[in-house]
């Protein structure tokens, strides 16, 4: 690749560098801007008089005596009890990831090792399920959940998210398991292992890269979900994302909107860390799906 890149005409080279920089600005600037703005008062972040106020913090200086203020964070975390929502989010994410992976590895392994015709149909069914917007299912949950008093609590949401997550998890783990040579567990079976023992002692030790990648995507799905969590959780059990939506629902009184900005920045931080540490796995997960087509 480098040989060809070296031969690029200067004009094209400059043009593509400018394009990359422009894209980086598009991708990163909104986050930097919002992070910076979250330490300001509303009149600075949403400035009517002069947009540079958002950078210099003129009004913030007047109100709080310093160009930076943690008032938004104080409002969100202390006054509105955002901590509870953060804890809920992490409970939901933790259990969704663990359960999805347990179910998914068993199912994905079985699909990759069975040559019968029904595996194809199961994978196609999973593809169709993956295509359906989760919100279309929510209308179907409401009535039974109300009838059986299951509505509003975390375990219900967890199991629903696990189920919605399964089609994707199955496809992904299926393709990972297909790359693990069949001879590995075949030979274990020849040595007298049952299928489950072969899975337990031979496959589990070598499957971690695929499982970690799939786990990351399960985490993202649970963390990012809005449709299911906002409909199935009661007010006390809300996770972060529906809570942020609720901040917006309350009137745009002064200060309140900055609670939402601070909450948004707080909710972005874990994702930022995640990308920082697991960039390679995320990229490989995205491309693994594509190569299988």
Contacts to another protein from residues 270-289, by CB under 8 A: 271-272, 274-276, 279, 282-283, 286-287, 289
Question: Residues 62, 187, 224, 250: which binds another protein (CB under 8 A)?
Answer: 224
Question: Which residue's CB is nearer to another protein, number 164 or number 188?
Answer: 164
Q: Which residues contact 59 (CB under 8 A, 6 or more apart)?
A: 40, 41, 43, 44, 47, 53
Partner residues linked to 152 by β-bridges: 233
The site map against another protein for 96-115 (x = CB under 8 A) is ------xxx-xx-xxx-xxx
Rounded to the nearest 10°, the torsion over CA 118, 124, 125, 126 is 110
Question: Which residue's CB is nearer to another protein, number 84 or number 289?
Answer: 289
Give the three-class secondary structure for 68: coil
Distances (CA, A) of 44 to 47, 219, 260, 266: 5, 35, 15, 20
Half-sphere exposure of 182 (CA within 13 A, CB side): 9
Question: Residues 48, 148, 149, 192: which binds another protein (CB under 8 A)?
Answer: 48
Question: Residues 39, 40, 41, 45: which binds another protein (CB under 8 A)?
Answer: 45
Binding to another protein, residues 189-218 (CB under 8 A):
195-196, 199
**260 contacts another protein (rule: CB under 8 A):** yes
- Total length of the chain: 293
Question: Residues 244, 256, 262, 281: which binds another protein (CB under 8 A)?
Answer: 244
**12 contacts another protein (rule: CB under 8 A):** yes
Q: Which of 116, 123, 110 is nearest to 166 (CA)?
A: 123
The stretch among 67-75, 78-86, 201-209, 264-272 that binds another protein (CB under 8 A) is 264-272
CA 75, CA 264: separation in Å to the nearest integer?
13
Smallest distance, another protein to C-beta of residue 256, A: 14
């Amino acid at each position: 690749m480098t040989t060809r890149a070296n031969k690029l005409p200067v004009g094209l080279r400059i043009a593509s560098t400018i394009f990359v920089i422009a894209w980086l600005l598009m991708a990163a600037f909104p986050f930097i801007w919002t992070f910076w703005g979250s330490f300001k008062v509303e009149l600075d972040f949403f400035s009517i008089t002069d947009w540079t106020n958002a950078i210099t913090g003129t009004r913030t200086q007047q109100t709080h005596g310093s160009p930076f203020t943690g008032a938004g964070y104080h409002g969100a975390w202390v006054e509105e009890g955002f901590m509870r929502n953060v804890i809920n989010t992490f409970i939901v994410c933790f259990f969704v990831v663990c359960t999805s992976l347990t179910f998914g590895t068993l199912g994905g392994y079985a699909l990759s090792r069975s040559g019968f015709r029904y595996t194809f149909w199961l994978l196609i069914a999973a593809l169709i399920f993956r295509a359906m917007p989760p919100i279309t299912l929510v209308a179907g949950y409401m009535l039974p959940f109300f009838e059986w008093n299951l509505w509003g609590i975390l375990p219900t949401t967890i199991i629903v998210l696990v189920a919605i997550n399964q089609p994707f998890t199955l496809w992904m783990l299926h393709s990972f398991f297909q790359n693990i040579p069949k001879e590995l567990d075949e030979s274990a079976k020849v040595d007298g292992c049952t299928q489950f023992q072969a899975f337990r002692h031979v496959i589990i030790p070598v499957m971690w890269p695929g499982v970690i990648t799939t786990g990351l995507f399960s985490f993202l799905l649970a963390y990012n979900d809005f449709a299911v969590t906002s409909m199935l959780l009661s007010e006390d059990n809300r996770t972060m994302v529906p809570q942020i939506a609720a901040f917006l629902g309350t009137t745009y009184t002064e200060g309140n909107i900055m609670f939402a900005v601070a909450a948004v920045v707080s909710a972005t931080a874990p994702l930022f860390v995640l990308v920082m540490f697991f960039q390679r796995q995320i990229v490989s997960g995205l491309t693994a799906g594509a190569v299988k087509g």
